[in-house]
């Protein structure tokens, strides 16, 4: 996800520059991601995969819109309240990300492909996913 690689610059842009505070937010985000992904993964059968994908992507879109809005308001006004408002929305975006993109990442790809293409399709998915995260 975009903000994990750029968390420190994002926080710096909204006025949070103390290294201890940035580390605390990062640690809290890691703990939040673990709890949320394990919880949502355990209930994926009851919730249904398609609704999870739709809710996850819509929630991330709305959350990113709020993050961009608050960051722009902070940049324009310098009001620290706008900068601090970004932090809960980072957690909200990651909650929506954990809803589907962690729990259903590989299973959904294998589920919608025909049986004779699953291994090839999953191999391509993992290859392109890895290359997009760690370009060589």
Query: pLDDT digit string (tens) for 95-130?
Result: 999 998 887 888 877 788 898 999 898 899 889 888
Which two structure tokens, joined as six digits, stand for 40? 């949502």
As a whole number of angstroms, the distance between CA 51 and CA 73 comes to 33
Q: Are 124 and 37 contacting, i.e. CB atoms less than 8 angstroms apart?
A: no
pLDDT above 90 as % of the chain: 46
Q: At 23, phi and psi to the nearest 5?
A: -65, -40
Q: What is the pTM of this model?
A: 0.82
CA distance 83 to 67: 9
92 Cβ neighbours under 8 A, 6+ residues apart: 59, 63, 66
pLDDT in tens, 56-75: 999 999 999 999 999 899 98
């Amino acid at each position: 996800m975009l903000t994990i690689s750029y968390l420190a610059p994002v926080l710096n842009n909204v006025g949070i520059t103390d290294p201890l505070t940035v580390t605390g937010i990062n640690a809290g985000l890691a703990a939040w991601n673990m709890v949320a992904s394990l919880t949502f993964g355990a209930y994926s059968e009851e919730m249904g995969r398609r609704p999870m994908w739709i809710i996850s992507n819509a929630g991330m879109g709305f959350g990113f819109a709020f993050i961009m809005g608050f960051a722009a308001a902070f940049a324009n006004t310098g009001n620290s309240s706008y900068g601090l408002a970004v932090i809960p929305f980072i957690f909200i975006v990651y909650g929506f990300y954990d809803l589907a993109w962690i729990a259903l990442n590989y299973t959904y790809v294998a589920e919608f492909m025909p049986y004779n293409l699953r291994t090839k399709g999953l191999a391509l998915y993992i290859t392109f996913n890895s290359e997009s995260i760690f370009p060589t």
